[in-house]
Amino acid sequence: MNLPDDFVTKYQHLLGTEAPAFLASLTTGTTTAGYRVNPQRQLSAKLTAAPRVPYAPWGYYGTVKGRSLAHQSGAVYSQEPSAMFVGATAAPQPGERVLDLCAAPGGKTTHLASYLQGSGLLVTNEINRKRVRVLAENVERFGTANALILNDSPDTLSPIFPDYFDKVLVDAPCSGEGMFRKDPAAMDYWSLAYVEECAARQREILTEAVKMVKPGGQLIYSTCTFAPEEDEQMMAWVLKTFPEFSLVPVEKSGGVVDARPEWADGNPDLKRAARLFPHLLKGEGHFVAKLQRATTAEAKRVHGQAQLGQALTGAQRKLWQDFAQQVLGTVPAGDLVTIKDQLFLTPAQLPALTGAHVFRPGLHLGTFKKNRFEPAYALALASDPQQVAQTLTIDSEQWQQWVHGDALTLTTAPAKGWYLLTCDQQPVGFGKVVQKTVKNFFPKGLRFTVYPEDLT
């Protein structure tokens, strides 16, 4: 790999005697794969036998195949190990309000969801329309039930959520220097000028992000670049521009080191932020800082209440309640709305979302059809098999048929109706039993073929 000449010269100057090891890690070093397990799921011993990522409670070194049961069911999420440090630094508490402002493809969002344990509110936003679809798919696959997915710019959201969130995560679009080894194509658009362009965009994002942190709340800022202009210098700019914010120490372990004040204005508080260098740990390049807002500020009021859809008709409510009581065993608490014929469980007590582009208003429960209700794939993945009244266990061979879109044939027939299908204790979808056949409702756009090498 040939690094850009300006990049090499820059970091030879900045790192001095450390530069040869740093540059060698990018040109001759190898990438390290990782994955996180979903703490809301029953986990096999195989998944938790891999070496642990020291700073991430649910993180492991290793690979998980995309056509595996663990991946399809949302028991795991593939994530580069250094990227796990971001969510671990945010570490929201159950019940908190959390915003992931630049969220696609969803790795950090699903990590935040693990900390929230299905409680509180997770607003996850992506400005790019194509990327927000990928975000929604990953949020759904991970079984996240308390997420509102938006497709907006930060300056649209800041008037809607003033002083609102306990934690705001800004995983900022950046020059991507930390990904050169993993994604060499990132070097094609890199230049010294591009670094400055990214820094300007980050200042715009942060100007809006700070408005949404409640007094006493925290803003977690991260990049996957080494550039001081986007890292230490960006934090120095925040401290000077928004004096109600201060840096709090980021806990460091596993080769994570202090940020470099000398690469900015020399403010010693900048050492409280963290740098992840590929020559010092098993992972790619990252920068992470945690900013705390003073409690003395007076919080602005949020206005109104969200109107995310239509209220259910009496007939729709009965269809849903009958399904929930018979199949799930309970009727989930929360606010229900319909959008056309789709039923959603929405987060409670949201402010008015006037002007916002709501991509997904909450957990998709299912579809109302003529005189019947069909449960959604998202509801299946958000369900705990141990709590569901009607479950049907299938084996690995049947699971392969299921994800391919085939109906299943049973040797003995349970009672007619909907069942949550499980394999190896993981929820994999809803099926409808008619005599000895399980009709397949696995989403057509997600169907795939499992090959023998996917099972090893």
**Binding residue positions for S-adenosyl-L-methionine:** 102-108, 126, 171
Residues making up the annotated binding site are: 102-108, 126, 171
Alpha-carbon span 26 to 188, nearest angstrom: 15
Catalytic residue status for 224 = yes
CB-CB contact of 126 with 102 (8 Å): yes
Provide the token pair at 441. Answer: 């409702």
Amino acid at 204: E
Q: What is the dihedral of CA 220, 221, 225, 228, to 10 degrees?
A: -120
Specify the pairing of strand 97-100 against strand 121-125.
parallel
* Cα–Cα dist 438/431, whole Å: 6
Residue 193 backbone phi and psi in degrees, to 5: -70, -35
Catalytic residue (choose from 174, 198, 224, 423): 224
Q: Mark residue 179 as left, alpha or beta (left: phi above 0; alpha: psi -120 to 50; beta: remaining).
A: alpha
- According to DSSP, residue 451 is labeled P
Q: Please list the alpha-helical segments (H only) found in 260-419.
A: 314-323, 377-381, 396-404
CA gap 11, 26 in Å, rounded = 12
Report the alpha-carbon distance of residue 114 to residue 43 in Å, rounded: 14
Query: Position 400: which residue type?
Result: Q
Mapped onto helix, strand or coil, the DSSP state of residue 433 is strand
CA atoms within 13 A on the CB side of 278: 28
Catalytic residues: 224
